[in-house]
Amino acid sequence: MTTKNQELANWVSTVAAQTQPQEIVWCDGSDSEYQHIIDMMLEDGTLSSLNPETHPNCYLHLSDPQDVARVEHLTYICTDAPDTVGDNNNWMPIADAKAKMNALFDGCMQGRTMYVVPYCMGPIDSPYSRCGVEITDSPYVVINMKLMTRMGAAALARIEQEGGFVKGLHSIGELDPERRFIMHFPQELSIMSYGSGYGGNALLGKKCHALRIASWQAKDEGWLAEHMLILGLESPAGEIHYIAAAFPSACGKTNLAMLIPPEEYKDWKIWTLGDDIAWLHPGDDGQLRAINPEAGYFGVVPGTNAKTNRNAFDMIQRNTIFTNVAQTADGQPWWEDKKEGVPSIDWKGDAYQSSNGPAAHPNSRFTVAATENRAYSSLAEAPDGVPISAIIFGGRRRELAPLVYQAKSWEHGVLVGASVASETTAAATGKVGVVRRDPMAMKPFCGYNFADYWGHWLSFSERLDKLPKVFHVNWFRQNEDGDFLWPGFGDNLRVLEWIIKRCKGEVDADETPIGYLPNAEGLNIDDLGIDPAVWQSLISIEPEQWRQEMDEFGEYLASFGDRLPAKLKAQHELVKAALAS
């Protein structure tokens, strides 16, 4: 397979001359190609089969122990001037970055196969989708891109029809941490990644394209590329709503995306349209419409079991690529908190000994097609996307944030999103309660200056007349003994029900300085047995805590100087004034 797109053909020839591969393979995305690469990796030992009786068509890949996570400190946005990317990114001049990367790529694919991987982020026929091509020397990348994107001949055909595409050049290099960089060039829509085979660093369609590059594209083209799940809900009355939600890590994002209704809500239907990334476009109907640019899941495995996330647990019993999990004696994948089996071989491929640490790496992963999820909806392929009724932001706060509150306006909602933060746990850092600000859950992924990003968000109030309502949730309120006050998991649907009712104007709420909170009768908790005093603490605020929070957040906003949008500063002053009175 070759291409009629001369720009693509010339780029492939230029990269081949530089990297000097043994052969070039244009990937067509077929099932037979996928199986051929699987078989090749099984033969050379870079992949191993898991128990075919319990986990049919499941495979295990073990990474180099020094290559197991994203490398944010080695990830750069490369533009003409540093103020365009802001303090929320690492910046490098374009010329310096290209000189550094070209030196690394020279001759790096000698003796290897160079794969040309055309892909489409989003439904093939959607006007909201964008295409890219990743050139890589990693067969692991190819098989993951097959599951994660619309990859192959159809994507190439769209590229040839439209002309434009994001260029992603990747090599695993020597897997040397000292020779590992990820460079983004948003002004020319290109990415260069060297020295890592880990998904977030090597699957360039994911965080690199679908968030960092796409957020820059979205600013220029008038849409939003966000670190958000997309969830569909149908009430027993047959009313359907779609919600987009953004959470920092360890705040329950995947669990909410694959929520299973509790017994009291068994007549509700839930669809997972996306668990990680949403592209939000203004529709002709004046609403924000969302597509999921991805076609699969690249999820963290530890902690996943039949109780915490039944849908995720069930879907990775087949047709899944596991990375850095442990194995049982009979070849089943194993990870911490799986609640089944006993580890025999750890994530490094050695005999498991508890003294050596976790059996599965804490960041071990599964890759699986979205169609394996029982909550999959064919609307994930809808060219027009789905209309978003509500946008939810969330964080992990022990005391400060109530269970749920609604922003008073779109502009106030942008302030709520900008103020997203989580408190650390002892397991994460050794310190409890350290506040980490992660605006819109985009701190590692926004490809340009946060001040300009907030300004872009604010601009939608002038362009759309049916904007989603904005909410904030906090599943993690605790008492003095550290016990969670809210049951969470499936019961979070009760909060979503309240949110939908608020969007429709069907339920009253109590106005507070920070937004609208549920009143005593507004949110259904009748069968939960929550103590009235506990419930009151879940739906109320402590003004002094919020005054301190707004002071600290104000210092953060001030760090953006004159670039901070005046509307955002005004919203912050309004909340402060309301709290003061």
DSSP state of 554: H
Whether 363 has a binding-site annotation, put simply, is yes
Mean pLDDT for 313-324 is: 98
Nearest to 386 by CA among 397, 395, 377: 377
User: DSSP for 419-439?
Assistant: T-EEE--HHHHS-SS-EEE-G
- What pLDDT does 126 receive? 98
Which of 89-93, 249-253, 484-488, 558-562 is predicted with the least confidence, judged by mean pLDDT? 249-253
Has residue 426 got a pLDDT over 70?
no
Question: What whole-number distance in Å separates Cα of residue 241 and Cα of residue 379?
Answer: 13
- What pLDDT does 427 receive? 46
| Model pLDDT for residues 50-97, shown as the tens digit of each residue | 999 999 999 999 999 999 999 999 999 999 999 999 999 999 999 999
| Model pLDDT for residues 164-184, shown as the tens digit of each residue | 999 999 999 999 999 999 999
Q: Is 405 in a helix, a strand, or coil?
A: strand
H-only helix segments in 507-542:
532-538
Question: What whole-number distance in Å separates Cα of residue 539 and Cα of residue 519?
Answer: 8
- What pLDDT does 541 receive? 97
Whether 396 has a binding-site annotation, put simply, is yes
- What pLDDT does 433 receive? 74
Mean pLDDT for 316-333 is: 98
SS3 content of the chain, % helix, strand, coil (to 5): 35, 25, 40
Whether 492 has a binding-site annotation, put simply, is yes
Question: What whole-number distance in Å separates Cα of residue 202 and Cα of residue 182?
Answer: 9
**b vs e for 56-81, b when ≥16 Cβ sit within 10 Å of the residue's Cβ?**
eebbbbbbeeebbbbbeebbbbbbee
Q: What angle do helix axes 543-558 and 566-580 make, rounded to 10 degrees?
A: 160
- What pLDDT does 109 receive? 98
- What pLDDT does 520 receive? 79
- What pLDDT does 425 receive? 61
- What pLDDT does 429 receive? 41
Whether 338 has a binding-site annotation, put simply, is no
Whether 365 has a binding-site annotation, put simply, is yes
Whether 456 has a binding-site annotation, put simply, is no
DSSP state of 460: G
Phi and psi of 413, rounded to 5°?
-60, -35
Whether 554 has a binding-site annotation, put simply, is no
Whether 367 has a binding-site annotation, put simply, is no
Whether 435 and 421 have beta carbons less than 8 Å apart is answered as: yes
Has residue 430 got a pLDDT over 60?
no
Whether 198 has a binding-site annotation, put simply, is yes
Whether 376 has a binding-site annotation, put simply, is no
Whether 44 has a binding-site annotation, put simply, is no
Mean pLDDT for 223-248 is: 97
- What pLDDT does 432 receive? 65
Question: What whole-number distance in Å separates Cα of residue 178 and Cα of residue 401?
Answer: 41
Whether 547 has a binding-site annotation, put simply, is no
Domain residue ranges of the chain, discontinuous segments joined by +: 6-46+69-221, 226-295+381-580, 296-372
Percentage with pLDDT > 70 across the chain: 98
Percentage with pLDDT > 90 across the chain: 96
Greatest Cα pair distance, the chain, in angstroms, is 72
Nearest to 11 by CA among 104, 22, 24: 24
Query: Domain 296-372 in CATH: superfamily?
Result: Phosphoenolpyruvate Carboxykinase, domain 2 (2.170.8.10)
- Please list, in sequence order, all residues whose beta carbon lies within 8 angstroms of the beta carbon of residue 318, skipping any fewer than 6 positions away: 55, 56, 57, 58, 372
Whether 490 has a binding-site annotation, put simply, is yes
| Model pLDDT for residues 462-471, shown as the tens digit of each residue | 999 899 999 9
Cα–Cα distance list, 567 to 411, 466, 561 (Å): 7, 20, 14
- What pLDDT does 280 receive? 98
Catalytic positions, written as ranges: 251
| Model pLDDT for residues 115-126, shown as the tens digit of each residue | 999 999 999 999
Pairing state of beta strands 130-136 and 113-121? antiparallel
| Model pLDDT for residues 517-536, shown as the tens digit of each residue | 999 789 999 999 999 999 99
H-only helix segments in 149-235:
153-162, 199-202, 214-221
Whether 560 has a binding-site annotation, put simply, is no
Whether 48 has a binding-site annotation, put simply, is no
Question: What whole-number distance in Å separates Cα of residue 394 and Cα of residue 59?
Answer: 34
Whether 207 has a binding-site annotation, put simply, is yes
Mean pLDDT for 264-278 is: 97
Question: What whole-number distance in Å separates Cα of residue 216 and Cα of residue 449?
Answer: 10
Domain 6-46+69-221 listed as CATH 3.40.449.10:
yes
Structure tokens at 181: 């960089």
Whether 529 has a binding-site annotation, put simply, is no
pLDDT band at 379 (very low <50, low <70, confident <90, very high): very high
Topology (CATH) of 226-295+381-580: Phosphoenolpyruvate Carboxykinase; domain 3 (3.90.228)
